Amino acid sequence: MAQRDAQDVRSLTAQMRPLVVQALLTTFQRSLRDELRLWLSEARPGG
């Protein structure tokens, strides 16, 4: 039974891994976009 449980956990982990990577990339992209927007607004004359 424990062997089957371990296999189930590994299978679930393998299925979740792409979702986690996608979530991290999306968060990074949003953060980068916000930082660039802030940087560009500060770099503008009178901004």
Residue 46, pLDDT score: 66
Question: How many CB atoms are closer than 10 A to CB 32?
Answer: 10
pLDDT in tens, 2-31: 888 889 888 888 889 999 999 999 999 999
Which positions ≥6 away from 3 have C-beta within 8 Å?
none
pLDDT top residue among 6 and 1? 6
Which positions ≥6 away from 47 have C-beta within 8 Å?
41
Residue 4, pLDDT score: 85
CA distances 10 to 1, 3, 4, 16, Å, are 14, 11, 10, 10
Residue 3, pLDDT score: 84
| pTM of the full structure | 0.63
Residue 45, pLDDT score: 78
